[in-house]
Amino acid sequence: MARKRTITPATFRRGINFWPPFLFAGIRVLSVGEGYRSARVRLRLGRLNRNWVGTHFGGSIFAMTDPFWMLLVMQNLGPDYVVWDSAGEIDFVSPGRGDIFADFELTDDRLAEIRELTADGKKALVWFHTEVLAADGTVVARVRKQIYVRQKPKKATAE
Residues 103-115: pLDDT tens digits? 999 999 999 999 9
Report the C-alpha gap between 5 and 36 in whole angstroms. Answer: 10
pLDDT attached to residue 6: 75
76-113 burial string, b = 16+ CB within 10 Å, else e? bbeeebebeeeeeebebeeebeeebbbebebeeebbee
Dist. CA 133–CA 141, nearest whole Å:
7
Task: Count the domains in the chain.
Answer: 1
Q: Give the pLDDT mean for 71-84.
A: 95
Dihedral angle over CA of 54, 60, 64, 65, nearest 10: 110
For residue 84, being part of any structural domain is answered with yes
Q: Is residue 76 part of a domain?
A: yes
Give the domain range for residue 93. Answer: 9-151
- Per-residue model confidence (pLDDT) at position 67: 93
Asked whether residue 1 is assigned to any structural domain, the reply reads no
In this structure, is residue 157 part of a structural domain? no
What CATH number corresponds to the domain at position 23? 3.10.129.10
Rounded Cα–Cα distance for residues 119 and 149 (Å): 11
2, part of any domain:
no
In sequence order, the 6+-apart residues with CB closer than 8 A to the CB of 3 are 74, 75, 76, 77, 78, 79
User: What number is the average pLDDT over the span 84-92?
Assistant: 96
23-39 residue pLDDT tens: 888 999 999 999 999 99
Residue 158 forms part of a structural domain: no
| Residues 35-61, mean pLDDT to the nearest whole number | 91
Instruction: Check if the beta carbon of residue 112 is closer than 8 Å to that of residue 47.
Output: no
| pLDDT for 51 beyond 90 | no
CA separation for the pair 73, 37 (Å, rounded): 8
What does pTM read for this prediction?
0.88
Considering the domain boundaries, does residue 43 fall inside one?
yes
